[in-house]
Amino acid sequence: MKDRDAAVLYSGGKDSTYAIEMLRNLGFKVSCLITMVSENSYSYMLHTSNIQTAELCARALEIPIVLGYTKGEKESELSDIKNTIVEARKEFGFTHLGSGGLCSEYQKSRLDKIAKDIGLFPEAPLWGVDQAKYISELLDRGYNFILTSVSAAGLDDNWLGRSIDKQAVRELLSLSSRYRFNPALEGGEGETMVLDCPLYPRNHVEIVEATKKWNGYEGTLEISKARLVRKDSKYFDQEIPVSH
């Protein structure tokens, strides 16, 4: 095993993607990504909205990805996460486990325990960041991401699929102050998908087909087809149907 090799728990969202950048800046090599696919859309531990697109985002990152599967049942899903990490380590030999947690003690304490139980060093490079400044920093660093789910008072279906630009950040900060949710959406108020960022060396992600699902107070953008597009031309890879 290599002392500075890390696996990162990855969803295709802003936090796990930025964690990759931060770990690299700290001198780690990110040897693989680990994505858990949950049958439970209300998992306590896992990003679930459009998790099937994580493979496409991993292709854009050009980092190998390992998929694990779970029913998403509280606590028992921890065993599935642990077993997937153990299997990934057999192939990639990493010594550190990275994650994109910002402030969830529930998630961090459990991931720290999993890592320590199997002899890995947990790494959470975004832990404790100022969430309002963090969202603006992502834009300044060239991250293009959208909301794929919302479930907080003040966020309606107009946010689904919306690209987060500076105007959207101002609105989010205002709404988070008024309705008292986390401005970076860490508390499950929303989930994101990174379409482009400096870590995507050759291709960005383009959504081809998607449908909004809204039940009156929460909803998701269900992506049915997406593709990679070359940054230096209009060439694109074949469209990738996304199964749910």
Domain count within the chain: 2
* CATH classification of the domain holding 189: 3.90.1490.10
pLDDT at 104: 87
Q: What's this model's pTM, rounded to 2 decimal places?
A: 0.93
Q: pLDDT by residue for the chain (244 residues), tens digit each?
A: 568 999 999 999 999 999 999 999 999 999 999 999 988 777 767 877 788 999 999 999 999 999 999 887 777 889 999 999 999 999 999 999 999 999 889 889 999 999 999 999 999 999 999 999 999 999 999 999 999 999 999 999 999 999 999 999 999 999 999 999 999 998 789 999 999 999 999 999 999 999 999 998 899 999 999 999 999 876 555 555 665 4
15 and 117 in a common domain:
yes
* CATH classification of the domain holding 119: 3.40.50.620
Angle at 180 between CA 179 and CA 182, to 5 degrees: 120
Which of 86, 103, 123 is the endpoint of a domain? 123
pLDDT at 237: 59
147 and 68 in a common domain:
no
Which of 91, 123, 155 is the endpoint of a domain? 123
143 and 116 in a common domain:
no
174 and 91 in a common domain:
no
115 and 83 in a common domain:
yes
The string of DSSP letters for 155-217 reads --GGGTT-B--HHHHHHHHHHHHHHT--TT-TTTTEEEEEEE-TT-SSEEEEEEEEEEEE-SS
Q: How far is CA 169 from CA 15, 146, 148, 165, in A?
A: 16, 12, 16, 6
97 and 157 in a common domain:
no
- Domain of 26 in residue numbering reads as 5-123
pLDDT at 106: 87
107 and 176 in a common domain:
no
